[in-house]
Amino acid sequence: MKVIQASDYQEMSQKAAKYVIKNVRRQPDIILGLATGSTPKGLYKQLIADHSQNGTTYEHVSSINLDEYIGLPAHDPNSYHSFMDEQLFQHINIQPHNRHLPNGETDRIEQECMHYEALIDAKGIDLQILGIGENGHIGFNEPGTSFASQTHVTTLSESTRQANARFFDSIHSVPKQAITMGIASIMKSRKILLLASGPKKANAIRRLLDGDIKESFPASILNHHPHVILLADNEALSAAIGKEDNDD
Ligand SMILES: N[C@@H]1[C@@H](O)[C@H](O)[C@@H](COP(=O)(O)O)O[C@@H]1O
């Protein structure tokens, strides 16, 4: 894993955008794996600014998102469909038919999981953007999820619901389940850019860089992936100083 240090959230977002833009320009029909949460918001803001100022085009780009809550309509302000529309899609020229998120509203949820995994296999994610939960979750793969998991329905841990409650009226409104790419689905990506910012992520980043690979800490599997960049700010790296492995 290659570790890139940024001084703060702003610099992390700028460096992430530079890397994504470089990949989009090099491969105009790139398949991007996209993430939600607070962490990639600054990256998306930078992509939007670059799109309007420098004209980087997303006309032939496709996106596949990691996850979606079950039970929230796509138009709900807290759905990940709405998040992506607001934070990125409506501000760049990515075509609606090229944007993919799991359908958390269907009552044929098992078919939806299979369909989504087939989509990932058919398209192949070139560059996956990831955040990390404080408990080491990636996507919505909570601790204990099998490393062999494909797209599936997951029950959110209490701590994940608490962490995401800030986006909702109260913890009671946070859905209890989600549909998420599995860990094996994420690991199929050709390249992964993992972003982490702030002191709340310091412990997770220290555990990630410890290199101990176990299902009780889902992100640890990334140590097995041949092309992961961890781009983290000083606060997120604060507990791991001296543990980085810069072998690329
Ligand atoms: N499903 C998302 C994850 O994809 C994200 O990485 C995590 C961290 O969120 P944040 O970036 O807000 O800390 O939150 C949610 O659980």
Ligand 1 atom having least distance to the Cα of 160? 16
Q: 240's torsion region: left (phi>0), alpha (psi -120 to 50) or beta?
A: alpha
Rounded to the nearest angstrom, the distance between the alpha carbon of 36 and the centre of ligand 1 is 6
Let me know the angle formed at the C-alpha of 164 by 12 and 238, rounded to the nearest 5 degrees: 40
98 C-beta neighbours (distance < 10 Å), count: 18
pTM of the model: 0.95
Choose, from 65, 98, 135, 141, the residue flagged as catalytic. Answer: 135
Does pLDDT of 248 surpass 80? no
Going from N- to C-terminal start, the domains of the chain cover: 2-237
CATH topology for 2-237? Rossmann fold (3.40.50)
Give the residue-averaged pLDDT of 152-167.
92
Nearest-10 crossing angle of helices 41-54, 80-87: 40
Give per-residue pLDDT as tens, 4-45.
Answer: 999 999 999 999 999 999 999 999 999 999 999 999 999 999
Catalytic site includes residue 223: no
Ligand 1 atom having least distance to the Cα of 198? 13
| Start-to-end Cα distance in the chain | 5
